[in-house]
Amino acid sequence: MKAPICNICLKTEDQLCSHCQNKLDDGKITDKEVEVSRILYELSDNNPSLQDSEIVQVLDADRVLVVVTSEGDGAKVVGKRGRVVKKLAEQVDKSIRVVEQASEDREVIKGLLSPGEIESINKVYTPDGTSRKVVVDEEYKQKINLSVDELEQFMEDITGTGYTISFEEV
């Protein structure tokens, strides 16, 4: 399993090697990424598909953890019938959302907004330049368990591009 921390640190419970500790101290990885990586590593004993997966990033929100995997590894982290995600959710006491990295931002955004659906992604011209706006049907606003601010921040963290979310009646 590939994770934000090295294989040796995945296997230990309390300490990080100097390299991984420096990454943590420098803000390149977070405590949540360390915790989730270690939990998933433990779960890989009973879920062999996890051994071939890559955890790229873990983003922490009030009620949700977003686990970002490399492209094609999302299903491995979810597990058969969602078993892996359920066990992870129990241990971190939050809902889990698994999002795969993708070459197109639309796929990443689609994963973050699930079960909501993207109506459109528009380029908006403002006096300050251009920005991108994601339009989602208003009926999904209460079904997505992330706030608008969290969604916008996570979109930028994962894709590197700033987006605004707009829930509109379609």
Note whether 143 and 166 are same-domain residues.
yes
Note whether 94 and 129 are same-domain residues.
no
Contact assessment for residue 115 and residue 126, using Cβ atoms and an 8 Å cutoff: no
Note whether 52 and 95 are same-domain residues.
yes
Give the pLDDT of residue 59: 96
| Number of domains within the chain | 2
Note whether 96 and 112 are same-domain residues.
no
Note whether 148 and 93 are same-domain residues.
no
pLDDT tens per residue, range 21-37: 999 999 999 999 999 99
Note whether 85 and 117 are same-domain residues.
no
Give the pLDDT of residue 86: 95
Listed residues 101, 128, 148: the one ending a domain: 101
Note whether 4 and 61 are same-domain residues.
yes
Asked if residue 4 has a cis previous peptide bond (ω within 30° of 0), the answer is: no
Global confidence as pTM? 0.89
The boundaries of the domain holding residue 18 are 1-101
Please tell me the distance from the alpha carbon of residue 71 to that of residue 39, in angstroms, as a whole number: 21
Whether the pLDDT of residue 11 is over 80: the answer is yes
Give the pLDDT of residue 49: 87
